[in-house]
Amino acid sequence: MMLGQKVFEEISGKLGQVLADSPAKDLEKNLRAVLQGVFTKLDLVTREEFDVQQAVLLKTREKLEALEAKVAEMEKPSGASPE
């Protein structure tokens, strides 16, 4: 197994060298630049911002459910009869 891992690392290293010295590297840079431009236009948020908003939404839902339960309790007819 150790020999297979070493061969894999060696092939991977050589492929990395070949790609670094070839036009494929320029293609990769250009593609990254194009994709970055597209993503910028899409007005995306970061994962961190998404997670923060998701936590705020969860807390808001919990408060809403608590308020709904209170309102439902207040709307129940009481045991005393009105005179």
pLDDT digits (tens, 9 = 90+) for 39-66: 778 777 889 999 999 999 999 999 999 9
| Domain chopping of the chain, boundaries | 1-43, 45-74
pTM, entire model: 0.46
Phi–psi pair at 66, nearest 5 degrees: -65, -45
Closest CA to 69 of 61, 58, 57: 61
Q: What is the pLDDT of residue 81?
A: 54
